[in-house]
Structure 1
Amino acid sequence: MTAIATDSYHLFLDSFKSKLSDAAKLLTMPQLTPLRNQYPSYASPQTKIRLSMLATAMVDALGGPAEFQGRFTFDPVTTMIPNDNFGLEPGVWTDDTSMALCLARSLAHSKEVHDGFDEKDQLRAYLAWFNRGELSAIGRCFDIGGTTNRALSMFDTYQGRPIKEILNIIRRNLSAIVFSGNGSLMRVLPVGLTYWGDESQARVYAGRSSCTTHPSPLCVEACEAWTVAIVKIMQATATGTQYLKLDVIEHFSSYPYSNSKLQLPLNFPKSVTPLRSEASLAEKEEYYWQHHPLLQKVSRTNKGESGKEIPGLPYPMPSVKDVPSTGYVVDSLVAALYCFMGTQTFEEGALMAVNMGSDADTVGAIYAGLAGVWYAEDVPSEKFWSKRVIEWKEKLVKRELVEQVTDELVAFSEKLTKNL
């Protein structure tokens, strides 16, 4: 055999081995159940509220150590470990959970309005957390976003004035695109859990809750769209109505965004021919996998065309280019939704979210709120309560505080729902 032929043979052999290796990886990787066959776990609204709030705290604490880390640069995070970023013991949740608890307690206890939604009371709660560590896992505020910090400083200065005037000051100073961080999206969960019986009211209140610290139109719209998704799942599981994961991605793709920065990663390109109205569920799902930008990324990653496998995680991790996980609200929303759509248990999505690095705890908390509502169940199973998730719960610091505030929210939500 000539030298050229030998080289060609070895090149062919190497290529063949590589393809065999790729095929083997695909065979061992768990295959996603079709989205049209994935349903939420049915449970009472009380269970959904309790477990989604607990889920937020668990994944927030799980992701804290990976915050600020570059993707693929750290050992996989699968258990509660110390958070060296702030010198914290394992299981300590961060500002994501603290602010969600502040909002939840304000909704449950505000006395100024009958339906609980009072922006001034919410800002007081956030300021008490910032100044005195109320509703913190360790009794002090150890981390706060820049935009939130600015908004609370303005509130502290002008809190003697009427709330409309205060909100106008915050809006004038913090509405620019540069202030479009994820600080309001990370805490908005209690709004959907409280007002789930009225989608329109929940959407409006989600937007208004953002305006207390993040009045950027991008942040407002992100909170509204995310909250409506939570409400739709809550309503479906409470009434026994069919709602599929395919419906979740349809919600985000059909939402009437006014901002192209949200529309581009969550909607179909304008060049794509619309789906036939008479298409079957199978045809509809195929259309989404072929044309929806987020599902295209899931498909590319799972086929090994981009991203990378991380030992110990069930699915490949998307590349930073495809799915950045920064503190920019669009990146955080898309990353959290990717983790939800690209996995099929609560644990799988949580592990993907926190191992993205960058703003890992916040992406994890945002994911966990939605996924908690989806997977929370009255009768425990692996969909939510895997052995690993049970371990996360057992190691969660100040779990009783999270549960106490959540019980208050449950009681108030029940009261509101009865009055509908």
Structure 2
Amino acid sequence: MIPNDNFSLPPGVWTDDTSMTLCLARSLATFTPTSTSRVAKKGGFDEKHQLDMYTAWYRKGTLSAIGRCFDIGTTVRRALNIYSRDTARGGSIDDALQHIGAELNKQECAGNGSLMRVSPIGLAYWRDEGLARDYARRSSSITHPNALCQEACEVWTGAIVRIMQAATAQTGGYSKLDLVKFFAEFPYTNLELKQALTIPAGIPPPPRGKVDHEKWYWSHHPLLQLIAKTQTESVKKKAELSRTIPTPNALPSSGYALHSLAAALYCFLATESFEHGAIMAVNLGDDADTVGAIYAGLAACWYARDDGEQVDEVFWTNRVKAWKSKLVKRELVEEVADELAEFAANRT
């Protein structure tokens, strides 16, 4: 919402995070599979179509805020170049995915480029958690085949699915602690994600009582421990709780997928409105736009689920409304969002 000196951009311009999110959303909403029938069903998951959408953004500026690609992650660029190379040689999508997997399934390629764009998967397929999680992994593998990236996309999508299911059920019983439990009990295969998001081994099981149960999580979950420590220090310093930010050593916000996920989840759990969490996320520094994008994909689902008067307090605050009014090419974002919503609705 301020001028971007790195790329000489005016306020309200969204970056590669949003462009790729829009590409994925539009692909899910508009892909038409080959069919022998006269009317093929519109919309669906297809790796080649997604790569075509990303390539159109990269090469032609399609779904860019300014009509050109002005920022792109190294791993995404490499994946799209491999895809374009193989396509030019007449290779199949399977050939391209095999080469992408062989060349980019490395620790140094475990960036946040697939996690930052993954939210449309959960929004489109929230009725089937297993399918959504599988698609999340596959959506990552076309540019970020590293196992950590795939699992990060899977767990983040699973969280969005749980929120969407709770919102549509309108039971009102799903709390942030329930979401913490989802992350804590997820069957991780990646050790780094497991260490960052679960209760350490050797801790006695949680007590049954609701109050004691919550205290147990605050005492033992790594992110909740950090929130409690940071807020305690902020009280001593008389700082505003919702704006208190941990040190970079305590909460890194780099482009590493693990760091970005943990930072985004921290901002969600440490604040009580979309606005405050967003401000915290983009002020962590480092890869701020991506941490903000990852946070927002989950937090918006959470805070917008309340269709009562409280939604203006936790989601559509005056500042958030002002952000929306200043957004460059807002109509394009809304157009793609409507396409995705229509596709999701038609899957009933």
After TM superposition, the score normalised by the length of structure 2 is 0.93
Amino acid aligned to 1:119: E
C-alpha displacement of 1:362:
0.3
Q: In the alignment, is residue 409 of structure 1 matched against residue 334 of structure 2? A: no
Alignment of 1:247-396 (within 5 A): 247-276=178-207, 279-304=208-233, 314-376=242-304, 377-379=306-308, 380-396=311-327
Amino acid aligned to 1:85: N
Does the CA-based 8 Å contact 1:313-1:352 persist in structure 2?
no
Does the CA-based 8 Å contact 2:199-2:222 persist in structure 1?
yes
Alignment partners' CA distance in 2, 1:281 and 1:398: 46
- Where relative contact order (Cα < 8 A, 6+ residues apart) is larger, the structure is 1
Amino acid aligned to 1:222: A
Alignment of 1:49-128 (within 5 A): 80-112=1-33, 116-128=44-56
- Cα-Cα RMSD: 1.7
Structure 2 residue matching 1:225: 3-state secondary structure: helix
C-alpha displacement of 1:283:
1.2
Paired position in structure 2 for 1:214: 144
Alignment partners' CA distance in 2, 1:306 and 1:144: 40
Q: In the alignment, is residue 148 of structure 1 matched against residue 76 of structure 2? A: yes
Q: 2:159 aligns with which of 212, 216, 229?
A: 229
> Residue by residue, what CA displacement relative to the aligned partner does 1:242-265 show, whole Å, maximum 9, x if unpaired?
211001110111100001010001
Q: Aligned in 2, Cα 1:132/1:306: closer, same or farther, shift over 3 Å?
A: farther
Q: Aligned in 2, Cα 1:153/1:244: closer, same or farther, shift over 3 Å?
A: same
Query: Post-superposition, which runs of at least 4 consecutive aligned residues in structure 1 deviate over 4 A?
Result: 305-310
Alignment partners' CA distance in 2, 1:400 and 1:177: 38
Amino acid aligned to 1:202: A
Paired position in structure 1 for 2:38: none
C-alpha displacement of 1:150:
0.2
C-alpha displacement of 1:216:
0.2
> Residue by residue, what CA displacement relative to the aligned partner does 1:155-210 show, whole Å, maximum 9, x if unpaired?
00112322222111100010111100000000000000000010000000000000
Q: Aligned in 2, Cα 1:81/1:146: closer, same or farther, shift over 3 Å?
A: same
Q: Aligned in 2, Cα 1:331/1:111: closer, same or farther, shift over 3 Å?
A: same
Paired position in structure 1 for 2:176: 245
Does the CA-based 8 Å contact 1:337-1:367 persist in structure 2?
yes
Alignment partners' CA distance in 1, 2:281 and 2:237: 14
Residue ranges of structure 1 left out of the alignment (5+ in a row): 1-79
Structure 2 residue matching 1:250: 3-state secondary structure: helix
Amino acid aligned to 1:165: D
Alignment partners' CA distance in 1, 2:236 and 2:282: 16
Does the CA-based 8 Å contact 1:307-1:317 persist in structure 2?
no
C-alpha displacement of 1:240:
1.9
Alignment partners' CA distance in 1, 2:225 and 2:26: 39
Alignment partners' CA distance in 2, 1:356 and 1:161: 42
Does the CA-based 8 Å contact 1:253-1:267 persist in structure 2?
yes
Alignment partners' CA distance in 2, 1:304 and 1:400: 43
What percent identity do the matched residue pairs reach? 55
Alignment partners' CA distance in 2, 1:207 and 1:309: 43
Does the CA-based 8 Å contact 1:309-1:316 persist in structure 2?
no
Alignment of 1:187-206 (within 5 A): 187-206=117-136
Q: Aligned in 2, Cα 1:111/1:307: closer, same or farther, shift over 3 Å?
A: farther
C-alpha displacement of 1:308:
8.1
Max radius of gyration: which structure?
A: 1
Paired residues in the alignment total: 335
After TM superposition, the score normalised by the length of structure 1 is 0.77
Alignment partners' CA distance in 1, 2:110 and 2:58: 20
Does the CA-based 8 Å contact 2:231-2:241 persist in structure 1?
no
